[in-house]
Copies of this chain bind each other. A is one copy, B any other.
Amino acid sequence: MSNAPRLNRQLCFAMYSASRAATKAYRPLLDDLGLTYPQYLVMLVLWEEQPRSVRELGEELGLDSGTLSPLLKRLESLGLVDRRRAAGDERRVEVFLTDEGTALSARAAAIPQRLADAAGLPPAELDQLRETLSRLTAALHDLH
C-alpha cells in the first residue's frame, strides 16, 4: 500500500551498512594495536609520509579539526605521535610519528590482506568496487 522508498533498495543504506560492517570487522585486529578505526586511518596517512599538518591530514581523510584535534591528542597520549607548532608558521601544527608510532606499522602491515580474505569476494571485484565508490564519492563531493 505504501509507495515509500524501500530501505533495502537504497544505495545510501548499503554504503552505510557496509562501512559499519567493515569497521566492525577491523575491530578485533585493531584492538591488538590499541587503535580505533579512525585512528588507524590517521596512522596510515602518517606511515606514508610525515610530518603532516592537521590541515593536510584533514584533506587526505576528509575530516575537520573538530574531529582530528581530539583524535590526535589521544594518539599523542598513546605515545604514537608528537604535535609541534610549525617553525615558519605558528598557526600550523605538525604531527610527527614517534619511534613507537613508526614501529607500529610493521604490526599493521598484515591487516589489509586479512580483511580482503575475510571479504569473500574475488580481488578483481573488490578493486572494481573501490574504484566505483571513489568515483561516487568524487561526484557527491562536487555537489559542494
Contacts and interface: CB of A to CB of B under 8 A. Distances in A.
Interface residues of A, number: 61
A48 B130 contact: no
Nearest to A129: B132
Q: Give the copy number.
A: 2
Contacts of A86: none
Given A10-B44, A109-B4, A132-B125, A22 B140 contact: yes
Given A12-B22, A62-B20, A105-B2, A7 B136 contact: no
A119 interface: yes
B4 A48 contact: yes
A48 B19 CA distance: 24
